Amino acid sequence: MKRHIPLLALLVFLFFFQNCSSQGSLDSKTVDTLVNSQEFTFYAQRANPMNYDVINVMNSIPNSASSNILQLNGNYTVVVKNNMLDVTLPYFGRVFNPTYGTDNSFRFTTKNFTVNKTQSKKGNWVVKIKPDRNDGKNIDEITIEVYKNGTAFTSVRSTDRQPITYTGYISKNEATAKP
């Protein structure tokens, strides 16, 4: 009996930890409403470069690991509104046509874009956004896969750099004050 007490305590601890970790999610009706209205913000929590050379370089930095560098602080977003797309995402990877002296991350705002959304049988949403080539800094497509609990997986495909993905969550757009 004494041998089972530590095992039971461990199971209770894991059950408690699982309940605490699921508190930050949305219900599926809220997620459906946000995606259907095309009024939501994707908050990137982690960047996932596709190029292993980038990960190897990050791992070669002394006293650092690539897993810590790729954790994002939540200030990186994709804001989708009916009449505007605002993208602010970092980029880690190989750029084939770099512009020297400027920031090579994804930072742009456009009003010329198309949105195509589909829902799977399991209730997950796939939102494909195609910005205009002139406004979108050579971005071919942004794909946001939104799960029923509000977590999301975003991939950005560009014409002049390797693809990159981000994990995070979606939320309602923040209200902006009008001057």
Residue 87 belongs to domain with CATH number: 2.40.128.410
State the total domains in the chain. Answer: 1
Q: Per the domain annotation, does 89 fall within a domain?
A: yes
> By three-state DSSP, how is residue 82 classified?
coil
> By three-state DSSP, how is residue 39 classified?
coil
Q: Per the domain annotation, does 128 fall within a domain?
A: yes
2-46 pLDDT tens trace: 666 666 665 555 555 454 444 347 788 888 888 889 899 999 999
Q: Tell me the average pLDDT of the chain.
A: 80
Q: Per the domain annotation, does 4 fall within a domain?
A: no
| Buried-exposed string 47-66: b where 16+ CB fall within 10 A, e elsewhere | bbbeeeebbeebeeeeeeeb
Q: Per the domain annotation, does 131 fall within a domain?
A: yes
Q: Per the domain annotation, does 102 fall within a domain?
A: yes
Q: What is the pTM of this model?
A: 0.77
Q: Per the domain annotation, does 5 fall within a domain?
A: no
Whether 81 has a pLDDT exceeding 70, the answer reads: yes
Q: How far apart are alpha carbons 28 and 80 in whole angstroms? A: 19
Q: Per the domain annotation, does 157 fall within a domain?
A: yes
159-179 pLDDT tens trace: 888 889 999 999 988 866 445
Least trusted range by pLDDT, from 25-29, 42-46, 106-110, 122-126: 25-29
- The enclosing H or E element of 130 equals strand 125-131
Structure token pair of residue 116: 């195509």
Q: How far apart are alpha carbons 102 and 104 in whole angstroms? A: 6
What pLDDT is stored for residue 79 in this prediction? 93
Q: Per the domain annotation, does 158 fall within a domain?
A: yes
Q: How far apart are alpha carbons 34 and 85 in whole angstroms? A: 15
The residue segments making up the domain with residue 30 are 23-171
Q: How far apart are alpha carbons 108 and 134 in whole angstroms? A: 11
